[in-house]
């Protein structure tokens, strides 16, 4: 079985990708499992640039086929923000609860029909030689008025899925692995990874 490096040490993300990419036929390992301690800064202005930066740097370092992702929340009423700055939108090292409060404060008085949003995920697959393939997934939704649900992380508890009548934090992991932006990008990545084996 071929090895695949995931440019992350986030255990939640590692577990999620092991499930999402299970059918691709690779043995997935995290940076720490490969003894890689360097940090690659996300200095790009787009999800694509950030995913490429990480995938190419770690593919060179680990001399392995590598995947990296960048994702964010885009809210129409905030002109697409927080977007690529989703993780740091409310400041450095703030809790998910503080990030959520910042978004809800900015949307005070905005009616439901104008709270349209989407989660976006871009996965970059890079070879040690520097070749890159990009896979993009989007999940449409609405920003809820209050957080709901115990699951997920980040903005999941205020991201309402109209088709399911629940927030991303209220759906099962199994459902999330089917409908999320990451799941949709991973589905495309799975096909691309399979093609690299054969």
Catalytic residue set: 70
| pLDDT tens-digit readout, 64-87 | 999 999 999 999 999 999 999 998
| Sequence-distant (≥ 6) Cβ neighbours of residue 122 within 8 angstroms | 46, 47, 48, 50, 51, 69, 70, 71, 134, 135, 136, 137, 185
Whole-prediction pTM value? 0.92
Q: What is the pLDDT of residue 46?
A: 96
Q: What is the pLDDT of residue 109?
A: 97
Alpha carbon distance 13, 113 (integer Å): 32
Q: What is the pLDDT of residue 198?
A: 59
Rounded to the nearest integer, the mean pLDDT of the chain is 94
| pLDDT tens-digit readout, 108-161 | 999 999 999 999 999 999 999 999 999 999 999 999 999 999 988 889 999 999
Spelled out in words, what is the top-level CATH class assigned to the domain 2-197?
Answer: alpha beta
């Amino acid at each position: 079985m071929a090895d695949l490096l995931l440019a992350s040490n986030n255990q939640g993300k590692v577990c999620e990708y092991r499930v999402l990419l299970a059918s691709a036929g690779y043995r997935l390992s995290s940076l720490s499992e490969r003894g890689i301690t360097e940090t690659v800064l996300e200095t790009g202005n787009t999800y694509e640039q950030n995913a490429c930066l990480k995938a190419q740097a770690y593919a060179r370092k680990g001399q392995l086929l590598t995947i990296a992702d960048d994702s964010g929340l885009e809210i129409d009423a905030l002109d697409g923000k927080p977007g690529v700055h989703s993780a740091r939108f409310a400041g450095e090292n703030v809790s998910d609860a503080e990030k959520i409060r910042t978004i809800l404060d900015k949307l005070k008085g905005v009616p439901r029909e104008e709270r349209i949003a989407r989660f976006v995920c871009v996965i970059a697959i890079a070879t040690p030689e520097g070749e890159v393939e990009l896979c993009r997934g989007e999940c449409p939704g609405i920003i809820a008025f209050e957080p709901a649900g115990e699951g997920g992380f980040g903005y999941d508890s205020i991201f309402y899925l109209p088709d399911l009548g629940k927030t991303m934090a209220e759906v099962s992991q199994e459902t999330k692995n089917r409908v999320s932006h990451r799941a949709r990008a991973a589905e495309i990545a799975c096909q691309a990874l399979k093609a690299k084996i054969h």
